[in-house]
Amino acid sequence: MGKLDFGPKVRKEAIAWFKEAGAVGTPVDGMFLSKENFKTSLVKKVAEESGISASAEPGQIAAFLRESRAVAFVEVVTAGGAAASSSAQPEMALCEPPTYPLTIPFTGLLDAIREATHFKRTVLVLSSDRTEVETFLNYRNTGLVDCKQIIAETLIQKSKSTADVQAEAQRQLKHAMDSHGFAKPLHVRLGNSAFDLTKFCCDEFPADIFNAQIWTIEEAFKRGFFDQGQKSNLELEDEKKWKEFYVVITSTFDLERGKEFLTDKIPHFNELAIIVIDPASFE
């Protein structure tokens, strides 16, 4: 697609790899490779290319694949989709942020998140009693702070203290900013709760992470969330890897309930990019 260097030679190599992995059929009639064979062969290929052991932690393998394959692929596909759906002067789309709250179809969620994070806005997604958004993000490579689980563990089961769950939230935050040398989003899942993030925040889990204008590489480093090596790593290539870290808050409230119950519960609420998923788009 222009960025992945997928010319005739590479295509032949890919077909050969596909066959060696256990695919059945022919390139003319169609080929099928089982999920298990694909996974086994892909891990082996990563080990050969990267030097990472095939028995390494899955996160290391995923991080290598993401950086070496997925990032370029997503960039090309996103650019192609934007070009196909835009009118004249598509470059103007990134000059100014949209007006929030913004209502979009479910299929436009990733584009809307990318647009908001481009303008350094933390995202609050409201899904009007539907759980598909949370399920979708669960399958992506994100850190997770599950607020309903925190409520259950601290208030209902009373199996953990507030300090315990704050420490766990800190670990998720740190791992999102330093995931084997890369970075990834942090998903804060509210579900149908009005969990008080403002009260929950502390030195270990700062309120300022909800304002991307404030939560910079320098600020995170100054507060001890990663070392000098990762700081230098995140600053490379115009902070390319750091741009993969952002915070997405999800709630199953609609806009009316979101404004009523969450305004004083989420730090920097007035600076959020509020994205409302059109309920009809789930049908």
Per-residue model confidence as pLDDT tens digits over 122-135: 999 999 999 999 99
Residue 91: pLDDT band by 50, 70, 90 thresholds? very low
The answer to which of 15-19, 148-152, 237-241 has the lowest mean pLDDT is 15-19
Average pLDDT over residues 260-276: 98
Per-residue model confidence as pLDDT tens digits over 26-77: 776 677 888 888 888 888 887 777 777 777 767 677 767 766 676 656 555 5
State how beta strands 102-104 and 30-32 pair: unpaired
Per-residue model confidence as pLDDT tens digits over 135-152: 999 888 899 999 999 999
- CA–CA gap between residue 62 and residue 57 (Å, rounded): 9
| Domain chopping of the chain, boundaries | 8-88, 96-282
Cα 199 to its chain centre, rounded Å, is 25
Q: Reply yes or no: is the peptide bond before residue 206 cis, omega within 30 of 0.
A: no
Angle at 149 between CA 185 and CA 135, to 5 degrees: 50
Q: What are the Cα distances from residue 273, in Å, to 100, 121, 135, 268?
A: 6, 6, 20, 11
**Helix or strand (DSSP H, E) at 85:** helix 71-85
**CATH: 3.30.2010, 3.40.50, 1.10.3470, 3.30.160. Which one for 96-282?**
3.40.50
pLDDT at 248 over 80: yes
pTM of the model: 0.69
